[in-house]
Structure 1
Amino acid sequence: MLCGGHSVFAAEKNQSVLDFDDEINDNYAEVPVESIQQFVQIYSIVKDNYVDTKTDDVLFQQAIKGLVSGLDRYSRYLSAEDYKQLVQYTEGDLASVDFGLNYDQQSHQWMIQSLNAYADSAKQGLRNGNSIFKIDGQELKKLNHDQVMSLLNGSIGSTLSLQQSSTSQPISLVRNKKIETDIQAHVVHNQVLVIKVKVFQQDTANEIKRLIEEYSSNRIKTVLLDLRNNPGGLLSAAVETADLFLNQGVIVSTKSRSEGDQQFQALPSSEFQNLKIGILINGRSASAAEVFTAALKEHGRAWVVGEKSYGKGVVQKLFPLPNGAALQMTVSHYYTPKGQMIEGVGIQPNQEYLLQHDTKDENYLEHVAEIILNH
């Protein structure tokens, strides 16, 4: 994920960055003999006594998965097939699962629809007409359509946990269906330009700049950047977008044991410096979206409204293995301009204002725009 200059990181976009075939023989860590002996003892007990027969390959795969997944909520071991699929998916940034959900008025449940019989989810036993009870631990029956869709959506290649009933075991699904991520803009209160950014992509900063200039003839007083449900994207794009509205100071820094520490500064500029900025976030605004929000908030450049963000402040990296598999592992943390960690903490809005279940989204946006305009 290390590139150069202003585009140095890809926060969500997983790329191969280390050729393990060249370096793996030089990078063995020293493992204590006592730990190896204990592992062999446990391995033998499991193999000889578990109720079902397990092959050596299955047991070792399970041991590897446990080692990596136990590090944090993002790191994982990818089989050769999983790795191949993830590389294919990285052409896009925002994705959903391979089916839709529709609310059934009679049963008051969310039901699976538009699931192809040969899709990945179908291979895991899901069928059209199945009801869904929870996604990522959240019960769906009290959520509106937008809230349910936001649970389905996320960064491409990421996983979600789905539960069909209160008694069923959750299953893990990969978000593998690319979602179109065109930036949308419209004017409310005649003077507030609302720009919906679904994910930070390579051209996001240029597109936001173009939209502001396009609408400038309308004498807009405020720009409201709607980052709700934005899972992140490219850190470089978030840095470049923040740079549109800042003329000095740190935008974000990263700290890494293996990669070294880095700091990204705003470049001197007078463009858009007199334009009032508002940012709208929710509990699914994450990663690069949090980096952008924190930078503008801590420099006093934007008034942030909504609810506390997700709290994903990590840089991940893919380590390919000689057998075609790979490790997807956290290598760095993001820090705000004031040195605050984002991971597990999130960004608090200046003004908390939650979307109520019975409130239409367009009315909610009108209220938020009025808050920003009058602040």
Structure 2
Amino acid sequence: MNHRLESFTWAATSALLTAAIFLTTVSSQGIAHAQADDNDSATAEPDEDYYELMRVFVDTFQQIDRNYVKEVDRRELVDAAVRGMLSELDPYSNYISPDDVERFTEAITQEFGGVGIRVGFDDEMRAIEITTPIPGSPAYRAGIKSGDRIVEIDGEAVRDFPKNREMDRAVELLRGLPGESVEVAVRRAASGEVEKMTLTRELIQLDTVMGNTYNEDGTWNFMFDDELKIGYARLTHFTSRSAGELREALKTLRKDDMKAFILDLRFNPGGQLQSAIDISDLFIEEGRIVSTEGRNSRPRSWSAKRFGTFTGFPMAILINRYSASASEIVSACLQDHDRAVVIGERSWGKGSVQNVIELEEGNSQLKLTTASYHRPSGKNIHRFPNAKESDEWGVMPNDGYLVKFTMEEMTKYQEDRRDRDIVDPQDPVESTFEDTQLEKAIEYLKAELGVDSEETEDSVEEKAASGSEEESEEADADEAEVSLRELFYQFPKQLVG
């Protein structure tokens, strides 16, 4: 009797689940069709096909749940099934589970509730080391400095944090709702004494537009060369605030009589499409910025507006193999309109647009590729699977401006940049890295301004050639680190509290 009841229950459950998935699919399909122009780009498949396919899924789920040798977590099964479906699409479509939604949102917006510190873990001392406080944050105002170590958070000793999860636990305790307080015990780097302090969390908005050096008050200095009046800004992500941040930096530079400008997009993984459009619009007065086209979405294009444009000065853009997505939209747009010279290395090659779709009333999310984008010239940007170096993809530097870093140089650049991003007005870190890509940009802008360059063209070409000799070796290294880079672009983890 119990077996018959169980079989009946499973049959009913199977039918309900299949019907629910079927209705959801049809509903989603209807929405997608409604968004298309006269349904020209959408071809409906027979409903019976959906029903049969969904029944395969439900039957498989039922068999695993009932008969697998070990008991399985149903939630984990469904999550794995969704990830499996997405793995058949492209590297940029993925599923954000309920456990990861908050971190994913923070990665996109670059804002969270916290005390405003970048941290690392000191394994020897079993303490959280302060890499740098964020200017203006609660930690900065409280006098926390680089090199200080947090030994206790809300009464929980750092040395007792779970092994290999110390950083995750620290960030979990330091972050919270703005207005709430957290107590930390800080061992001072200068004296070794432990000081307890209570910090009130605030909404921390990480800068996405940065300079090369700090001012004395801890704000960014966007004037790279005071004598030649060359401005400089690094863009780390494309968020809803990025265009406004860059606009304010440009206004400041214009007041200081800027004559030329460098936009550094190296290591920028991209972000919001609208942010890329707005930033491109800051520099060109007319013409197409970008266009998008998808199977179930109306083809769209965006053009520049004259109002609010910053013109009248030469401009260089720095990119490297980690410049992707929105970075490629901006660099391709300004290159196609002859507004800027692109310097550095060929970019990543991501010419697709992802929409973030809420599932389970926002408890989980789906990041799905829904369209491709095209640069003003119409040339392809996307690097398709098995694409060769000789194929057309990504954004290439302008002729004569290819300057490659070896893997060793790239590592040294990142280490140098990390050290100089520490906020310490009393003892700023001087750069020890020879940035040949930045030097090439300076050389170009000097020529545009009619200033004799200290470096001859031949010596720069020699540097570029030496980098090219290592091209095949670097390509092999790139292939070995593909999974790491894809993780970086899909889900950058900010170790910030």
Q: Same fold (TM over 0.5)?
A: yes
Residue 92 of structure 1 corresponds to: 110
Instruction: Determine helix, strand or coil for the equivalent of 2:100.
Output: helix
Ranges in structure 2 where 5+ consecutive residues have no aligned partner: 1-22, 30-46, 131-149, 168-203, 212-221, 384-392, 414-431, 449-497
2:442 to 356, 362, 369: 369
Structure 2 vs 1, CA of residues 320 and 338 (structure 1 numbering), >3 Å: closer, same or farther?
same
Residue 397 of structure 2 corresponds to: 349
Distance, in Å, in 1 between the alignment partners of 2:96 and 2:162 is: 18
Deviations 1:98-148 (A, max 9, x none): 8537999xxxxxxx96699999xx7794458xxxxxxxxxxxxxxxxxxxx
Instruction: Determine helix, strand or coil for the equivalent of 1:64.
Output: helix
Structure 2 vs 1, CA of residues 25 and 371 (structure 1 numbering), >3 Å: closer, same or farther?
closer
Residue 75 of structure 1 corresponds to: 93
Instruction: Determine helix, strand or coil for the equivalent of 1:264.
Output: strand
Residue 315 of structure 1 corresponds to: 353
Distance, in Å, in 2 between the alignment partners of 1:373 and 1:263 is: 35
Deviations 1:69-97 (A, max 9, x none): 43221222222332344345554279xx9
Distance, in Å, in 2 between the alignment partners of 1:79 and 1:118 is: 30
Q: Please list, as runs of the form range in 1=range in 2, the aligned pairs for 1:289-308 lying within 5 A after superposition.
A: 289-308=327-346
Instruction: Determine helix, strand or coil for the equivalent of 1:254.
Output: strand
1:195 to 233, 246, 249: 233
The alpha carbon displacement at 1:338 in A equals 1.4
Ranges in structure 1 where 5+ consecutive residues have no aligned partner: 1-22, 105-111, 129-176
1:214 aligned onto 2:255: yes
Instruction: Determine helix, strand or coil for the equivalent of 2:360.
Output: coil
Matching residue's letter, 1:190: E
- TM-score norm. by structure 2 comes to 0.50
Residue 146 of structure 1 corresponds to: none
Is contact 1:199–1:231 with CA below 8 Å preserved after alignment?
Answer: yes
Deviations 1:260-309 (A, max 9, x none): 11111112369544311111111222222211100010112211100111
Residue 251 of structure 1 corresponds to: 289
Residue 204 of structure 1 corresponds to: 245
- TM-score norm. by structure 1 comes to 0.64
Is contact 1:204–1:237 with CA below 8 Å preserved after alignment?
Answer: no
Distance, in Å, in 1 between the alignment partners of 2:157 and 2:366 is: 27
1:335 aligned onto 2:374: yes
Structure 2 vs 1, CA of residues 51 and 113 (structure 1 numbering), >3 Å: closer, same or farther?
farther
Distance, in Å, in 1 between the alignment partners of 2:75 and 2:309 is: 59
What is the aligned residue count?
293
Matching residue's letter, 2:289: I
Deviations 1:10-61 (A, max 9, x none): xxxxxxxxxxxxx958615544455446546755775678664424443232
The alpha carbon displacement at 1:204 in A equals 3.4
1:62 aligned onto 2:80: yes
Residue 19 of structure 2 corresponds to: none
The alpha carbon displacement at 1:337 in A equals 0.4
Q: Please list, as runs of the form range in 1=range in 2, the aligned pairs for 1:1-375 lying within 5 A after superposition.
A: 24=24, 27=27, 30=47, 31-32=49-50, 35-36=53-54, 38-39=56-57, 43=61, 52-87=70-105, 90-92=108-110, 100=120, 125-126=164-165, 179-184=206-211, 185-188=222-225, 190-191=227-228, 192-200=230-238, 201-216=242-257, 220=259, 222-268=260-306, 272-322=310-360, 324-344=363-383, 345-350=393-398, 351-355=401-405, 357=409, 360-361=432-433, 363-364=435-436, 365-374=438-447
Is contact 1:197–1:226 with CA below 8 Å preserved after alignment?
Answer: yes
Distance, in Å, in 1 between the alignment partners of 2:348 and 2:111 is: 17
Q: Which moved more, 1:25-34 or 1:235-244?
A: 25-34
Deviations 1:287-343 (A, max 9, x none): 222111000101122111001112233332222223632222222222100123433
Q: Which has the higher helix share?
A: 2
Matching residue's letter, 1:195: A
Identical aligned pairs, as a percentage?
27
Structure 2 vs 1, CA of residues 93 and 335 (structure 1 numbering), >3 Å: closer, same or farther?
farther
Structure 2 vs 1, CA of residues 89 and 347 (structure 1 numbering), >3 Å: closer, same or farther?
closer
In terms of Rg, which structure is larger?
2
